[in-house]
Structure 1
Amino acid sequence: MTRVLGPVGDVHRARDLAQTLLAGLPERWRHTIGVARRAEEVRGTVLSAADGEVLLIAAWLHDIGYAPALHQTGFHPLDGARHLAAAGWPARIAGLVAHHSAARCVAEARGLAEEMQTFPDEQSPVSDALLYADQTVGPNGVTMNVEQRVADMLDRHGPDSPHAAAHATRSPVMRAAVQRVQRRLATMRHPPSAA
């Protein structure tokens, strides 16, 4: 009989899977740790307990598609989501990984939009918080603001990359999600006074 894990067990399982798959990619692993820490910081302030667990699971798993063993398309959000779906992870987790950080914009530039439609594209406080965590942590787990992160990403991928091609549509989506999370955080820290 297969043991069914609860959310906390799934967070640990997600962390362990990411650590195993990203073992040969130390910079990516440090980024993943930073994203999970950032997700931990915001989860209780902007999400319900259940959604906070989903956020942590997705944060640990968001970049597993970089693992060489998972390369199918060469597009890490899609490759990671395909692996998770094949391994029996919930569709919601696979969808959050597939579409993290407005990946659909880059997928279109890469000619992978149809393949991405296999996975649900959740537009929610959870997807916003995942984007916020990912786009405020740079390579090696260094904290950055979204503008620094976007500039670094464009520099690393180059002016002829799908990232650069998608920049005009992707960047406003990312900025808007980061701003929504920042507003939620500000409201939680300074709730409006009761009238």
Structure 2
Amino acid sequence: MTVVGWAYELAESLLRESLPRRWQHSQGVATCARRLAPLVEGRSEVLEAAAVLHDIGYAPALVETGFHPLDGARHLRTIPDADDRVVRLVANHSFALLEAEERGLSAELAGEFPLFDDPLLVDALVYCDMTTTPDGERTTSEARVAEILGRYWVDSVVGRFIRRAEPEIHAIVERVRAMADAAGVML
């Protein structure tokens, strides 16, 4: 089985029943990742696998710290032959380190899962996550940030984190769009 096939099976088994909306979001993020495949060349399977797995840490069976990037990556790390690139992308997706700081978990996250050194894959995953609604539909990064702030109050951990990350989220979305336009990739 391919890394992508395995990733879909795992994410579905963890999210479909317990968190169906989160499963819809994950599928939408993975669909976006497939559209970006021409930009990431030989790393498209890594991107798509990370995209469909990025939120598995929300699954009730995996919650340990309550910080989904860390909980999801810790679970993936226990699976034999899990691709380290996928694990590290899940751990650090969408500015997780900023949220980890807000939660007092930055030492654990950085120590266990160093930032992934492939800026294009990191940006592509941010793009996909931050342009996909909770229901798996396409959206703008502005609408996505507003939606997140609407679900969590502004002064919550998530609210503080997303406000700190917001300028860079929008910059990454624009950067990926420009790269896609230049390469003739339809988003």
TM-score of the two chains, using structure 2 as the length reference: 0.92
Residue among 22, 26, 50 paired with 2:20 = 26
Q: Which range moved further: 62-71 or 83-92?
A: 83-92
Indicate conservation of the 8 Å contact 1:128/1:181, yes or no.
yes
Which stretches in structure 2 are left out of the alignment for 5+ residues? none
Q: 2:114: which partner in 1? A: 120
| Whole-angstrom CA distance in 1 between matches of 2:60 and 2:145 | 24
Structure 1 residue 58 corresponds to structure 2 residue 50: yes
Residue among 96, 99, 116 paired with 2:92 = 99
Indicate conservation of the 8 Å contact 1:136/1:149, yes or no.
yes
What root-mean-square deviation, in Å, do the aligned CA atoms of Structure 1 and Structure 2 show? 1.4
Q: Which range moved further: 16-25 or 168-177?
A: 168-177
| Whole-angstrom CA distance in 2 between matches of 1:120 and 1:48 | 23
Q: Give SS of 1:69's match.
A: coil
Q: Give the Å deviation of 1:184.
A: 0.6
Structure 1 residue 146 corresponds to structure 2 residue 141: yes
Q: Give SS of 1:139's match.
A: coil
Q: Give SS of 1:159's match.
A: coil
Q: Give the Å deviation of 1:91.
A: 2.1
Indicate conservation of the 8 Å contact 1:35/1:60, yes or no.
yes
Indicate conservation of the 8 Å contact 1:92/1:120, yes or no.
no
TM-score of the two chains, using structure 1 as the length reference: 0.88
Residue among 158, 164, 171 paired with 1:176 = 171
TM superposition outliers: structure 1 runs of 4+ over 6 Å: none
Q: 2:41: which partner in 1? A: 48
| Whole-angstrom CA distance in 1 between matches of 2:10 and 2:20 | 15
| Whole-angstrom CA distance in 1 between matches of 2:148 and 2:161 | 12
**Between Structure 1 and Structure 2, whose CA radius of gyration is higher?**
1
